[in-house]
Each structure stands twice: as structure tokens, then as C-alpha cells.
Structure 1
């Protein structure tokens, strides 16, 4: 049994320690916001936070998550009101929407680390997240808006 803390809730998981966290989160715990894209850490659709860092859950082993703090898109905010989530909606970023859980999770870490990111900061931080629909300019615009919203809230995410 492996103890996980996902979105501030405790789980006892009976699975192979080498199983990717993505499948534990989706198939065992039942949180389907984290998406499978490529399975080799190249697209970013599966990004979650592990102790506050953006990681690719498709290649992160269950054993690495033991006793750590894991946050998925479902746990990013109580009411889908994280500044990045609000900005994504206001800027109509998603087209097909498949990649955006991972995009938002990566953006949330960027905004925490660099509350006032430049275009280059955004491009660098988001380079590992692929959008099949090509909404990169809207993503950048939304991250700038999220930074403004975060400032208005009086802090960082």
C-alpha cells in the first residue's frame, strides 16, 4: 500500500509502485481532469503539481508520489477561480480544450515563481506544453491577464 495525498485528501493505493501517477489519478482515484497525451513527457497534457512543482504525471512513478503533496487541476482552486482558470475563460483560450488542464497547471507554477512574467518568461515556461490547436497567443495573453488578476487579489497563487 502506498499513501498518497491528492488535493488534500488521503488515499491508500494498492498498485505497482512503478505505475505512472497519471493512471493512479485517473483510473484508481477517478480524477479525470489530468489528461493522457503522449505518455513520454513531451506534450504536457498530464501536468500536475508535486510538492508545488509542475511534473509530467505520465512518467512520474506512483512511488515518487508517496507521502508527497499532489495537486491536480481539480484541486488547483475550490471554485475554478484560480487566476489562470479565470483568465483562460475570459480570453477564450481553449479551442478543443484537451491540453488546457496541463497548460493551466504549468501556468500556475510560472505565476507563483514569476508573478509578473515577460513574454519570454511565458514562452520559456510553457515551451513544453503543446497545443494541437495552436492557441499559443491566447495562452500568453491569458497568463498576462492572470498575473494582473493575481495582483488585484493581493498575492501570488
Structure 2
């Protein structure tokens, strides 16, 4: 009988926890996102507003690589956030890929960092380029690439 009571208590606790973890239908976390990744995120709208009211040198975000950091400035149509938004698209996926490339990517020989597919030969998947007219530690551009990394510096042979 004692075993049944503790089993019932455990099931009741598990049910209560699962209710807390599953978002309600009207909550923001339950709202479905676009599968294509082309949606404008809150950050994009916020960045757009900040860049309208500030200069091209305004720092929107800092990406870290150990103790160093690289800045994303408003920029222009040829560099920075405005360039990335216009030429390559801006959304939360782009932001995450930039952060991952800078944080843990390999130097790409273009003054930035790249991430690669886990295969041999290595295939570069995403590239950042650092260095703008506003500063040497600023993000010039970032974009998705699909080409063999034969010409890129190799970290280890396959």
C-alpha cells in the first residue's frame, strides 16, 4: 500500500512538472516560428530602430572569442549590420551562426573565422570577415558558403 502511495505521488509530481514545461497555447513561447528562417526577429527590428537613430559606427552587439571581442556596428550597405541584413539576411539563425563562427570557428585567412562541416575533405559552411573602415575588430560581413576548403588553412589532415 505504501508503494502505491509513493508511486501516485511521483506521478502527480511528474504531471505537475510537465505542465510547467509545456507552454500554453497563447504564450509567446508556444507561437510557431517560420520554418524558412526568413522571419524578422525582435533583434532585427530593434537593430533597425537603433541604426535609424544612430551613426554607422554605433555598436549593436559584441561577439566574444575568449578574452577578445568583435563588434557588430550599424555600418553601411557595404559593411556591418546593414550590409549583412541587405545582402545575406538577418535573423536569429544568422546571429547564432556569427556567434558560433567567432567563438569556436577556425581562422579562415580572410581576417575572420569560419565553421566547417564535419567531413573529409573539409567543407566551409559559414564565414565571417573581420575589419571595417570603422575598426579592425569589427564584423565586415558574414554569410553561408558551400565550397571545399582546400585553399583554406587546414587545422588537421583528414
Q: Which band: TM-score by shorter chain?
A: under 0.3
Q: Point out the structure with the larger strand share.
A: 2
- The structure where helix makes up a greater share of residues is 1
TM-score normalized by the length of structure 2? 0.24
Which of 1 and 2 has higher RCO (CA within 8 Å, sep 6+)?
A: 1
